[in-house]
Amino acid sequence: MLKFLLGLLKFLGGLVLALVIVVATYLFWWSGSSHDPINVRPASAFASPGGPVLIFGGTRGTGLEIARQLRERGESVTVAVRATSNTTELAKLGVNTVIADALDPVTVNAALASGSYAAVISTLGTTRGEQAKRPDYVGNRNVIDAAKAAGVKRFVFITVIGTGNSYEAAPRMSRRFLKDVIALKDQAEQHLRSSGLDYTIIRPGGLGDVPATGTAILADDPQAFSYIGRADLAALTVQALGDPSTIGKTYNAYDPSRKTMARMFF
């Protein structure tokens, strides 16, 4: 019996070691890409959009960071929120709010009609819930249509690497886990391109609440992939917002300091 138990422990130890090796390999290699981006967009100074900016998805995450950075530059910012949203952080930033549910076109149209906005930014998306209740396509479609109806020309849209021609750039595990999200965001991208709006689409890879590196760039290269901090993504979004050369472009957000998932932890 003792011999059997020792053998079992040895076998289980081998399995654990193998699992550790697989996880480590994924974190340090398989989760990233060896592709070096081409068509890198040079960094530019911030240029004001010339009027108030309306953000959908601005109560937390990347959207909140975009609002923060715009306010630091003295821009007028309004965030569309649900009636039940926590707006404490927005109030601290001096951000205006307007009630709207992205899945309800009536409230979205009312939000766009509530002010003369120079630009709209959408970071709407989720990995949870039924497809019909996700804002990744339906919500963003409503916002795009309302912006066009209200006469807003400038639209910046944050999606994800894996949509459209960037599908192969996303790690295989990400493509599987985010399959539904990627499909919905791809539809939203196509809808925006056909809308006639002055759009810029920015596709990040893996996102995290990690310190900014200041090394992130935008690449007109669908094969570019890396992980990126929300603060760095927000900075790229703010830069692109006021730069007319980004109109009609779809960029992959790339941070050479975070090529693999492991770089999101240390």
Region class of 125: left (phi > 0), else alpha (psi between -120 and 50), else beta: left
Residue type, 107: T
* pLDDT one-digit tens code per residue, 178-212: 899 999 999 999 999 999 999 999 999 989 999 99
pLDDT at 23: 47
The rounded Cα 205 to chain-centroid distance in angstroms is 8
The residues facing 219 across adjacent strands are 40, 252
* Residue 253 contacts residue 205 (beta carbons within 8 Å): yes
Least confident window among 34-38, 44-48, 148-152: 44-48
pLDDT at 12: 59
Q: Residue 53, exposed/middle/buried by CB under 10 A (0-12, 13-18, 19+)?
A: buried
Closest Cα partner for 79 from 61, 92, 64? Answer: 64
106-143: burial string, b at 16+ Cβ within 10 Å, e else: ebbbebbebbebbbbbbbbbeeeeeeeebbbbbbbbbb
Determine the straight-line distance between the first and last CA of the chain, rounded to whole angstroms. 45
* pLDDT one-digit tens code per residue, 129-179: 555 678 999 999 999 999 999 999 999 999 999 999 999 999 988 888 889
Residue 161, CB half-sphere, CA atoms under 13 Å: how many? 29
Which CATH number is associated with domain 31-264? Answer: 3.40.50.720
Q: Is the pTM of this model over 0.85?
A: yes
